[in-house]
Every structure is written in C-alpha cells, then in structure tokens.
C-alpha cells in the first residue's frame, strides 16, 4: 500500500563542501505540487531540482545539472520508498568541488531518500467520487450522516426536486455509504460511483 507524508519535512546535509537541502510535502494535484515548489525554491541557490509523483503522473527537473543526475534520482527516491502524492525539492548551494555525474546522482537521490526516510508517513487509501441526488426533505439529515461517516461534499447543484452532490469518499467504504444513503432517503435518492477523476458536470438520474 502506498504512503504519503503527514506534512512538510526537511533534511539538510553537506557533501564535499556543497550544501544540500531537501524539502518534501504531500500534494493532491499537479497545481499543488507547483505551488509548493515555487514557494520553497531559493533563487539565490545554485540549483533547485525537484520531482513529484501523483498516481500515474510524475514530473522532474534537473535545473541546470547534467541530464539525469538530479530530478530523476529524486523521483526514484520517492518511488523506492513507496510514496505517492508527494513532491520533493532538493536545493544545492555549490561549494566549489565538482561531484561528477555519479556523485550528483548519489547526492540528490540520497538527500531526497534520507528526507523521506525520516518523515512521518500515512497509508494512502484509494478514494473515489460519487454522484448522488437527494430530495430536499431528506437533505439536512442525509448530509449530516454522510459527513459523519467521512464523505466530503465537493460540489452541490440544486433544482426543483432537491440537491445533486458530488462526494469524495474512501473506495473501501463506498458500499456502506450507499447502504446508509438508501436507508436515509427511503430509496428515493440516486447513487452512482464514478472513477477517481469524475467531474462535477456529469449528470445523475432521479427515480
């Protein structure tokens, strides 16, 4: 089971007079990764190299270091320790001694790996989206029960009959949530599980 971080972590080390600082953070979107990297980079440093992993999506950047010596080793450090939804930035202040390609790979990958090894982690459980329609008469009660069971409302649309919610919930709890939902609406609501990327514009029918 993959893990993610519980918060931002850092690890600093000196390697042959160059200073390396690794900063790592949990992310939930490419935009969140970019925001973290832009906010954390040091424009006075020699290099700001990074990588992030978000499910099947990933990116990495060598930022002026020889190709393949910085960003990819950082990504490999993320993958090797079973992390997902994580971004890692490794900042280098050059100390005057060249490390060579092999030395750079070990420095960037090793600094990232040690940062992640020391971090607090949490198991990453798979989530999914659900579209559900609920009559107005049941809305307050059903919403309170769904939220109490850990579902999160990401979007709501209202019409003459009631509300259509887009929920995010843990995939291994979606069956229990559907049972609760059916009971609370006396079978009058509609429930449809989407894939993880389901959009708010999708429609759900009503009975």
pLDDT recorded at residue 194: 85
Residue 207 belongs to a domain: no
67 and 143 in a single domain? The answer is no
Least confident of 81-95, 99-113, 121-135, 154-168: 121-135
Least confident of 5-9, 90-94, 101-105, 172-176: 172-176
56 and 152 in a single domain? The answer is no
Q: In the predicted model, what is the mean pLDDT of residues 123-145?
A: 88
- In what helix (H) or strand (E) does residue 30 lie, and over which residues does it extend? helix 30-40
Task: Tell me the pLDDT tens digit for each residue of 16-66.
Answer: 999 999 999 999 899 999 999 999 999 999 999 999 999 899 999 999 999
Residue 102's domain is classified under what CATH number?
3.30.230.30
Residue 107's domain comprises 3-123
Contact between 99 and 66 under an 8 Å Cβ cutoff? The reply is no
Strand (E) positions, 47-116?
47-54, 57-61, 86-93
Comparing 81 with 160, which gets the higher pLDDT? 81
53 and 116 in a single domain? The answer is yes
134 and 115 in a single domain? The answer is no
CA–CA distance from 106 to each of 31, 114, 118, 157, 186 (Å)? 28, 11, 18, 52, 61
133 and 91 in a single domain? The answer is no
Residue 189's domain is classified under what CATH number?
3.30.70.240
119 and 131 in a single domain? The answer is no
Q: In the predicted model, what is the mean pLDDT of residues 133-140?
A: 89
| Residue 117: burial class (beta carbons within 10 Å; 0-12, 13-18, 19+) | exposed
190 and 101 in a single domain? The answer is no
117 and 136 in a single domain? The answer is no
97 and 167 in a single domain? The answer is no
3-state class of 193 per DSSP? Answer: strand
Kindly tell me if the per-residue pLDDT of 3 is higher than 60: yes
Contact between 184 and 140 under an 8 Å Cβ cutoff? The reply is no
137 and 86 in a single domain? The answer is no
For 77, the token pair is 């450090």
**Domain total for the chain?**
2
DSSP summary character for residue 72: H
The rounded Cα 75 to chain-centroid distance in angstroms is: 15
Residue 141 belongs to a domain: yes
Kindly tell me if the per-residue pLDDT of 197 is higher than 60: no
142 and 51 in a single domain? The answer is no
pLDDT recorded at residue 202: 40
Mean pLDDT of the chain: 90
Residue 204 belongs to a domain: no
10 and 112 in a single domain? The answer is yes
pLDDT recorded at residue 94: 96
Sign of the CA dihedral 42, 43, 49, 53? positive
Task: Tell me the pLDDT tens digit for each residue of 89-115.
Answer: 999 999 999 999 999 999 999 999 999
207 confidence band (pLDDT: 50, 70, 90): very low
């Amino acid at each position: 089971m993959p893990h993610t971080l519980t918060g931002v972590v850092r690890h600093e080390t000196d390697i042959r007079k160059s200073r390396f600082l690794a900063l790592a953070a949990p992310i939930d979107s490419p935009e969140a990764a970019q925001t973290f990297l832009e906010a954390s980079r040091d424009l006075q440093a020699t290099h700001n190299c990074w990588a992030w992993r978000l499910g099947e999506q990933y990116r990495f950047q060598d930022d002026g270091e020889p190709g393949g010596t910085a960003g990819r080793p950082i990504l490999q450090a993320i993958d090797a320790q079973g992390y997902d939804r994580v971004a890692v930035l490794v900042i280098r202040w050059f100390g005057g001694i060249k490390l060579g390609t092999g030395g750079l790979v070990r420095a960037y990958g090793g600094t990232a790996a040690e940062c992640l090894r020391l971090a607090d982690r949490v198991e990453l459980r798979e989530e999914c989206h659900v579209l559900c329609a609920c009559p107005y008469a049941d809305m307050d009660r059903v919403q309170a029960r769904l939220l109490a069971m850990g579902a999160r409302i990401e979007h709501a649309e209202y019409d003459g009959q009631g509300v259509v919610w887009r929920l995010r919930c843990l995939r291994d709890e979606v069956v229990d949530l559907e049972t609760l939902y059916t009971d609370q609406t006396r079978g009058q609501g509609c429930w449809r599980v989407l894939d993880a990327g389901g959009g708010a514009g999708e429609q759900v029918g009503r009975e």
